[in-house]
Amino acid sequence: MTATGNVVPLHQPRPARKAGMDGLPPDVLAGWTAWLGERIDTGWRPGEWDSEARLFNGDPDNPRTVVYRCATAACDGLSRTRGLCATCEKACRASELELREFRAVFVPDRNRVIAGQRAACRVAGCPRESILWGLCNAHGSRRHKHLQRDPGSDLDAWIAVQKPYPPSPACAVPGCRYDARATFGLCSMHQTRWKKHTAVSRRRRPAPVVTAEWLERQAPFLNIHQFSLAPLPPVTRLEMLYALQQRDERGQKIDPVAVRQAVAHLADRVMSIAAADAEQVTGPAQANVDALLRETHRIVTGAFDRFQGVDPASRDVLDLSELGVRGLRGTPTHRPGGLDVSEVRQPWLRQILVTWIAETKPTTSEVRRALRACLAASRALQIRPGGGEDPAALAFADMNAVVDTFRHLPKLDGNPMSNKQRGALLSFFFKVLDYNRAAGHLDGMSASFARHSSHVIKQEEANEDETGKALPETVIAQLDQHTHLLGQGVSHGRMTSEQVGAMGRAVYELLRDTGRRPYEIAELRTNCLEHDGGDWSLVWDNRKGRRNGRRLPITSDTVETIKTWLAVRDTLELPTGSEPYLFPPAGEDGIVRHLVSGQISTLIREWTKRIPVLLGEEFGKDGERVPFDTSLIYPYAFRHSYAQRHADAGVPIDVLRELMDHKSMQTTQRYYKISQKRKRQAVNVMRLHTVDRKGQPAPMASATAYQARSVAVPFGNCTEPSNVKAGGKACPIRFQCAACPSYRPDPSYLPAIEDHIRSLKADREMAVMMEADEFVVRNLDDQIAAFKGTAETMRKLVEAMSPVEREEVEQAATVLRKVRAAQGSRAAVALGMPAFPAPRDGSTA
């Protein structure tokens, strides 16, 4: 591309390859073999990889090898998972012991051969390898004959009088640890294989001399920690080793069992992976083996392209791992599939996208967003004069067209996209463009094709009447009735369905009752409970705000939720590194040590699928409540619900800000937004339900009068002229409202009245402790009794209403409490945690 100067042209011709069992042409094969040989690390995995025997012996102490020591204390065996070996697993199922007790007390049979362990014969001076009873084959045979004569013979005493045998010749198969038989120089296992091989070749008797070609393709007896590349054809062997080393360099683990199964699959199917199609390399296999085969094919074909001078970045479908793209956790990605850039029509645009990926090494998420942005820009330029093909001819009008396309960009499913998302994608397009321009890759591009201050996408103004993403309390009450369905259809490591269900219930209740973000719940530690002075707190980390060790007051029910789960957790076999965390991860790779947000989303999503029906708050034409959209139920929605619940109950905004651990008051403020229309409607409803201090109806004449008398008294309105004029700061009797004829409470003040009663009780206890005069205590007793009477009057007033009127009053009360909380009308008392009436639709919270 001449216009950009420094960019390598795309679509280089790719040399044809000969696919299939015939392999590669001889000249290509020789060059390809030499190319691989130069790039294979001969010192790879010292202590594990034996290049001469083509044998891998996995080290259980290497965290990048998928082999582990058996968790049974007295066992020396190896396992593919962090748990029990196959023998101990079988014995554990047959026993009646709990897992932890079994691991501590079970002693495996010492007479068996332990997978992966090599030991010399127990007879002093005998160099041969132990096979049975800790004895070599020869001594084992002698011991067996001796037991036939003397069944009660002591093994140790018998061993003490035995003489050692001289070293026996090893099996001719490289890496085989068994002794050779006299006939063919092979161990018994390989001798049987040789006989079968010659029988297949239609010979009546086995050939007396084993051929070198046959020996080269034989694998030794393999244990769970081993694999051999010997069964593969020579070229395929090099390709497989190259792919394994590339995967290892990217930080991926080596699973000997999966590699062994992949080798068995390839041994008689392909002569060269580079010459075979993906369908020939892959096949019916376990998921992890199929993934290994597919990734091996991608690595090898990418290497073959480089061998032939083809840049892998020039393909229409890019291998992200080849370009060094990182996963979400910052490690090199090895996800299957690739990135299809064929729809980016302009060569220069496609090239700067590939260059940005290759040079900045972004995460997979960033790559997908950058591709989405470049696709939108490509479509916008395609309908412009010239199709945007020549970067030197681009003008300011072309950039305007691109930005305008982003302003109307829909989601991939066709639904509307928010302006915030559109703006983020537009920023990604400019990010890719600006990087390439700064790096000198777009020296030939027109200077007019650049960002201007007008190229922004304005955010939509929030709708005052929008309740946000909070779930209605009636929906949460229905969810509470179906917690027994949590965990169904979800697998989580080695946990049983009952254990997954218990974890799901704990996660749900913590989301609902604490309002923490999903990742904050996932990262809770086992010591997250703190008890101080009779109160419980949840200790959690606000990683988003970089504020760790935060404390959140919680109720006894939440404490019980955590303790109940801890009892279940004590029965689990936890992956290594997960011990400090409350919720274990699904995998056992040791990289992720706790539950992650995606797994919580899966729990909630699968749960809501199994709930028969959830009713919303809206009514259909038939007067019945319509089903609630379960797509609105996701983990983060419970945080919104927690905040909205407290705001609706009138919790002051500064208190809610502390509970939510918001940095900005504006973030908390949105939960208190009430439109003027809704406020007027609430006042018009509530002014008709005010009473005097004796409980007699005393409705306000107008909404204006109600608002004028809503002075700074947190537990009711005041009609005393001087106090109203002073904004609630000139009460003649010092806020002893229950005894004042100017006191005008209504049902919206009921939570505040109850809080004031609690405050008065605390003051009375303090007065008694201070031995204050009797009239002080008596005055407090009288106030408590008076306010209790007022609260009882409010309750009776609400209970006497019709269901429709009660619903109207409660909605108005919610609006007014939220308005007062946002205005900071706290006076001399502090509002406590909100209390909610039971749902009136027959459901229970």
Contact 780, 726 (CB under 8 A): no
Furthest-apart CA pair in the chain: how many Å? 121
Cα within 13 Å of Cα(170), Cβ side: 9
Pairwise CA distance, residues 507 & 518, whole Å: 9
Assigned token pair, 729: 């700061």
Distance of CA 764 to the CA centre of its chain: 51
Assigned token pair, 106: 């079970």
**Cβ partners under 8 Å of residue 90, min gap 6:** none
Nearest Cα to Cα of residue 749 among 807, 797, 701 = 797
Assigned token pair, 410: 């829909």
Nearest Cα to Cα of residue 667 among 655, 657, 652 = 657
SS3 string, 538-559, reads EEEEECCCCEEEEEEEECHHHH
The pLDDT value recorded for residue 393 is: 92
Distance of CA 352 to the CA centre of its chain: 32
Distance of CA 90 to the CA centre of its chain: 32
Pairwise CA distance, residues 381 & 402, whole Å: 7
Pairing of strands 547-554, 615-619: unpaired
Pairwise CA distance, residues 549 & 542, whole Å: 8
Contact 224, 88 (CB under 8 A): no
Structural domain boundaries in the chain: 26-58+225-314, 317-438, 483-610, 670-823
**Cβ partners under 8 Å of residue 718, min gap 6:** 709, 711, 724, 728, 731, 737, 740, 742, 743, 744
The pLDDT value recorded for residue 665 is: 82
Pairwise CA distance, residues 227 & 298, whole Å: 21
Long-range contacts of 555-560 (CB under 8 A, 24+ apart): 555/513, 555/833, 557/509, 557/513, 558/509, 558/510, 558/513, 558/514, 559/529
Pairwise CA distance, residues 833 & 836, whole Å: 10
Pairwise CA distance, residues 328 & 366, whole Å: 9
Pairwise CA distance, residues 456 & 407, whole Å: 9
Contact 628, 545 (CB under 8 A): no
Contact 503, 568 (CB under 8 A): yes
Pairing of strands 317-318, 226-228: unpaired
Tokens 């066709």 belong to residue: 414
Neighbours of 56 (CB within 10 A): 25
The pLDDT value recorded for residue 25 is: 82
Contact 74, 85 (CB under 8 A): no
The pLDDT value recorded for residue 607 is: 94
Neighbours of 90 (CB within 10 A): 11
Neighbours of 43 (CB within 10 A): 7
DSSP 246-288: HHHHTTPPB-HHHHHHHHHHHTTT-S-STTS-HHHH--S--HH
Instruction: List the beta strands (DSSP E) in 650-809.
Output: 717-718, 743-744
- Alpha carbon separation from 386 to 5, 391, 395, 397, 737 (Å, rounded): 20, 10, 11, 13, 79
DSSP 425-494: HHHHHHHHHHHHHHTTTTTTS-TTSS--TT---PPPPPPTT--TTPPPHHHHHHHHTTGGGTTTT---TT
Pairwise CA distance, residues 22 & 770, whole Å: 100
Instruction: Work out the angle between the directed axes of helices 497-514 and 597-610 (0-180°, nearest 10).
Output: 100
Pairwise CA distance, residues 47 & 65, whole Å: 12
The CATH code that applies to domain 483-610 is 1.10.443.10
Pairwise CA distance, residues 510 & 786, whole Å: 38
Assigned token pair, 594: 């706790």
Assigned token pair, 215: 């020996």
Could you read off the pLDDT of 307-360 as tens digits, one per residue? 888 776 667 777 777 666 765 544 445 454 567 888 888 999 988 998 888 888
**Cβ partners under 8 Å of residue 375, min gap 6:** 343, 344
Give me Rg for the CA atoms of the chain: 38
Instruction: Work out the angle between the directed axes of helices 287-307 and 234-249 (0-180°, nearest 10).
Output: 100
The pLDDT value recorded for residue 223 is: 86
Pairwise CA distance, residues 227 & 67, whole Å: 12
Sign of the torsion formed by the C-alpha atoms of 610, 611, 615 and 617: negative
Length, in residues, of the chain: 845
Burial of 694 (0-12, 13-18, 19+ CB in 10 A): exposed
pTM of the model: 0.55
Pairwise CA distance, residues 383 & 366, whole Å: 27
Pairwise CA distance, residues 716 & 785, whole Å: 16
Which residues does the chain have with pLDDT short of 70? 1-23, 110-118, 181-182, 200-208, 283-285, 312-314, 322-324, 326-338, 460-468, 588-591, 623, 673-688, 693, 695, 701-705, 707-714, 727-728, 821-845
Neighbours of 726 (CB within 10 A): 13
Contact 71, 89 (CB under 8 A): no
Pairing of strands 529-532, 535-542: antiparallel
Contact 275, 17 (CB under 8 A): yes
Contact 237, 55 (CB under 8 A): no
